[in-house]
């Protein structure tokens, strides 16, 4: 039976909200444990559906995985003999499955990973994952929907310059290079906090990586890595989501377990919108204004404004004073959810990778049934529903569950009139 999230607006957020480890880090940390035979443990693991998908993928590769959601911990026992195939059902359910490619190439010297196809936020190329591995001596081909890669005799160090600082390609190439013969230099790499986190774990496992957090990584291959216990970096996108919840609804939140230094551009923009923000180590407080001012935002690779927070800017501008232009530079097709926001009364005009949003007073938005099509858009629709008058019913809850731990419970604990319930069908 389909579930939905029902929010009764207007309903401001007021209270404390927790942040656990980053989805975009933990999935790759789990994949990277494949690099070392033995039991690795990852802590600060969020209780989200994608972790169960990655656990299943690792099990199918031969690992013994124990996921203890209540303890925010996952242990992975990696065998000597690993499988090397990631099937379509899992890759389709979770695109981050592609992140086993680098570890499998390092461990097995071959990998077969189903191609993910497109998703709700656009086509996502793999050309740099492929070209980087080819530079390291791998042969790649596409057969029957799988990307097949092999490197008889193992990968060798190479210099490869990414055409764009792709998060996924940087991670796959960095992990693949850890045990390659010789030195690998990766230029124009991504430097998101999640990449630094993965690089740190690899170092704790014995990898020799220099330049983490900069645009060039130098990796000296080592013969083997050892298992590790590692704490996942805080989820800056969840922290940002809670901050926008306060900004859009004129609420006040204390965000706990976060690393506000990973959000400096975002917090600057929220201050421009009229928020008061008090940052302390490990937590920060956001007080939203009575009515936000519209902001202009361009999404960019880190340290720029994250594309994953773009839908929240649209929601903020929808109720803001004035008009704001949002430019999406990372996933140009990431606008599907704006038609859902228009159902609440938002005024959005799209022009290629730009969106112009003309704000209206929040009481002019009225609740409606809307559909979440991806993780962040779903969360942004719930927040817009908190600002609108009346009931907003958000379907497609499974998308939100992929990336947010107990999203509804946390908001309800912070005073929001929100609940999950079974959708009413036709009778
Ligand atoms: C990751 C995050 C996602 C975030 C994104 C950008 C995970 C699970 N997902 O996605 O939440 O929105 O970073 O911060 O960590 N591209 C190519 N060729 C390639 C690789 C990428 O053309 O070989 C393009 C993609 O189509 C996209 C852009 O580069 O337009 C960014 O992709 P990338 O940085 O790789 O994002 P992901 O790793 O897919």
Tens of pLDDT, residues 29-77: 999 999 999 999 999 999 999 999 999 999 999 999 999 999 999 999 9
- Nearest atom in ligand 1 to 168's CA: 38
Residue 127, pLDDT > 60, answer yes
Q: Is the CB of 129 under 6 A from ligand 1?
A: yes
Nearest CA to ligand 1 atom 2: 24
The burial of 214, by beta-carbon neighbours within 10 Å (0-12 exposed, 13-18 middle, 19 or more buried), is given as exposed
- State the DSSP code for 363: G
Domains, the chain: 3-19+234-422 (3.65.10.10), 23-221 (3.65.10.10)
Q: Is the CB of 328 under 6 A from ligand 1?
A: no
Q: How far is the CA of 124 from the centre of ligand 1 (A)?
A: 7
Residue of 96, 167, 186 to test ligand 1 pocket, by largest number of atoms within 8 Å of CB: 167
Q: Could you tell me if 55 and 65 are in contact, meaning their C-beta atoms sit under 8 angstroms apart?
A: yes
Residue 424, pLDDT > 90, answer no
Q: Is the CB of 94 under 6 A from ligand 1?
A: no
Residue 2, pLDDT > 90, answer no
Confidence of residue 9 (pLDDT cuts 50, 70, 90): very high
Catalytic annotation on 87? no
Q: How far is the CA of 287 from the centre of ligand 1 (A)?
A: 32
- Nearest atom in ligand 1 to 332's CA: 30
Q: How far is the CA of 222 from the centre of ligand 1 (A)?
A: 28
| First-residue to last-residue Cα distance in the chain | 14
Q: How far is the CA of 257 from the centre of ligand 1 (A)?
A: 26
Q: Could you tell me if 236 and 23 are in contact, meaning their C-beta atoms sit under 8 angstroms apart?
A: no
The catalytic residue among 50, 64, 89, 119 is 119
Q: How far is the CA of 329 from the centre of ligand 1 (A)?
A: 11
pLDDT in tens, 367-399: 999 999 999 999 999 999 999 999 999 999 999
Of the candidates 180, 186, 96, the residue with the CA atom closest to the CA atom of residue 132: 186
Q: Give residues with Cβ within 8 angstroms of 364, minimum separation 6.
A: 345
Q: Give residues with Cβ within 8 angstroms of 233, minimum separation 6.
A: 21, 22, 25, 193, 194, 196, 197, 259, 262
Residue 278, annotated ligand binder? no
Residue 95, annotated ligand binder? yes
Q: Is the CB of 375 under 6 A from ligand 1?
A: no
Locate 119 and state its tokens.
């998703």
Q: Is the CB of 124 under 6 A from ligand 1?
A: yes
Residues paired with residue 280 on neighbouring β-strands, in sequence order: 283
Q: How far is CA 158 from the centre of its chain?
A: 29
53-89: b or e for each residue (b if 16 or more CB lie within 10 Å)? Answer: bbbbbbeebebebebeeeebbbbbbbeeebbbbbebe
- Nearest atom in ligand 1 to 27's CA: 8
Dihedral sign of CA atoms 78, 79, 81, 86 in order: negative
Sheet holding 73-78, edge to edge: 64-68, 73-78, 38-43, 229-231
Tell if the pTM clears 0.95, that is, is over it.
Answer: yes
pLDDT in tens, 150-199: 999 999 999 999 999 999 999 999 999 999 999 999 999 999 999 999 99
- Nearest atom in ligand 1 to 190's CA: 34
Q: Is the CB of 168 under 6 A from ligand 1?
A: yes
Q: CA-CA distance, 279 to 276, in Å (whole number)?
A: 10
Q: Could you tell me if 115 and 91 are in contact, meaning their C-beta atoms sit under 8 angstroms apart?
A: yes
Count Cβ atoms below 10 Å from residue 14 Cβ, excluding itself. 15
């Amino acid at each position: 039976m389909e579930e939905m999230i029902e929010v009764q607006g207007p309903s401001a957020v007021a209270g404390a909200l927790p942040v656990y480890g980053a989805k975009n880090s933990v999935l790759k940390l789990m994949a990277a444990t494949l690099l070392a035979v033995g039991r690795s443990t990852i802590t600060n693991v969020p209780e989200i559906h994608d972790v169960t998908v990655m656990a299943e993928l690792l099990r199918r590769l031969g690992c013994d995985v124990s996921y203890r959601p209540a303890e925010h911990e996952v242990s992975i026992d990696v065998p000597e003999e690993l499988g090397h195939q990631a099937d379509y059902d899992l890759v389709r359910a979770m695109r981050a499955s592609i992140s086993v490619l680098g570890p499998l190439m390092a461990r097995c010297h071959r990998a077969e990973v189903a191609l993910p196809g497109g998703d709700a936020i656009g086509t996502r190329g793999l050309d740099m994952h492929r070209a980087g591995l080819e530079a390291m001596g791998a042969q790649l081909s596409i057969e029957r929907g799988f990307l097949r890669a092999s490197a008889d005799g193992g990968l060798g160090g190479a210099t490869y310059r990414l055409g764009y600082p792709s998060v996924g390609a940087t991670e796959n190439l960095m992990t693949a290079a850890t045990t390659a013969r010789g030195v690998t230099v990766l230029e124009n790499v991504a430097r998101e906090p999640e990449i630094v986190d993965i690089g740190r774990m690899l170092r704790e496992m014995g990898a020799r990586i220099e330049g983490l957090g900069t645009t060039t990584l130098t990796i000296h291959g080592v013969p083997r890595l050892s298992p590790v216990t590692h704490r996942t970096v805080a989820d800056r996108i969840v922290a940002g989501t809670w901050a926008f919840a306060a900004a859009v609804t004129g609420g006040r939140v204390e965000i706990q377990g976060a690393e506000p230094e990973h959000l400096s551009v975002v917090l600057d923009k929220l201050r421009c919108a009229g928020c008061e923000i008090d940052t302390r180590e490990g937590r920060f407080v956001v007080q939203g204004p009575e009515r936000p001012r519209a902001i202009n935002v361009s999404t960019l690779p880190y340290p720029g404004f994250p594309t994953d927070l773009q839908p929240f800017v649209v929601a903020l501008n929808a109720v803001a004073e004035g008009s704001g232009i949002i430019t999406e530079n990372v996933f140009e097709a990431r606008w599907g959810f704006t038609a859902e926001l228009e159902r609440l009364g938002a005024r959005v005009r799209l022009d290629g990778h730009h969106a112009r949003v003309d704000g209206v007073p929040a009481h002019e938005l009225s609740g409606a049934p809307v559909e979440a099509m991806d993780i962040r858009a779903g969360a942004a629709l719930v927040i817009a529903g908190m600002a609108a008058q009346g009931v907003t019913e958000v379907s497609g809850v499974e998308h939100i569950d992929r990336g947010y731990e107990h999203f509804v419970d946390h908001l309800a604990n912070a005073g929001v009139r929100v609940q999950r319930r079974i959708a009413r069908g036709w009778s």
